[in-house]
Amino acid sequence: MRSNAKARADEWVDHVIRIRDAQDQAAFAELFRHFAPRVKAFLMRSGADASLAEECAQEVMVTLWHKAHMFDPGRASVATWVFTIARNKKIDALRKQKRPEPEDLPWGPEAEPDQEDLLTLQQETSALGQALAELPEKQRNLVERAYFGDLSHSEIAAETGLPLGTIKSRIRLALDRLRHSMK
């Protein structure tokens, strides 16, 4: 069993060397078929969602293709090298999203909010609801689609048939009114 694993590890080293020396697409395809699904599963087990894991796995394999010359079989196995790249890609992606790493997250229950803060939040929510209700219907409709429906201005334009400039103007006016109402 151990000799099979060693032979397989040597085969992966040979594949990386073929990619490095000859841009061997067949060797890359074999590495991709073997490692891409394992990298994705590894990333998902470490807390990444499926789309982030898929994106990182693709980037890992692209990195393997472009940086095969940096692989040193004396320092690590191909698997160790690939999974180290995967870990680094995940960290980079999370930093771009400004999401904390799981080990940086606080553990345990969150503290109960202060009653005064809770009352203030309820009052502000009520005031915002009232200010929204007082907006002209055309403006309120667009604000609700943009902020509660999570649609882009272009998506709203496609849905309503209104020109993009009209949508932007109405939303800007509505937000101005809300800002003044909330002072």
| Structure confidence by residue, pLDDT tens digits, 29-81 | 999 999 999 989 888 888 888 888 898 899 999 999 999 999 988 888 898 88
Report the chain's C-alpha Rg in angstroms.
Answer: 26
Q: How many helices (H) and strands (E) does the chain have?
A: 8, 0
Answer whether 174's CB lies under 8 Å from 139's CB.
yes
CA–CA dist 82, 63 (Å, integer): 9
CATH topology of domain 132-181: Arc Repressor Mutant, subunit A (1.10.10)
Q: What is the CATH number of domain 2-102?
A: 1.10.1740.10
Residue ranges of the domains in the chain?
2-102, 132-181
The pLDDT tens digits for 109-158 are 656 667 777 777 778 777 888 888 899 999 988 888 887 777 888 888 88
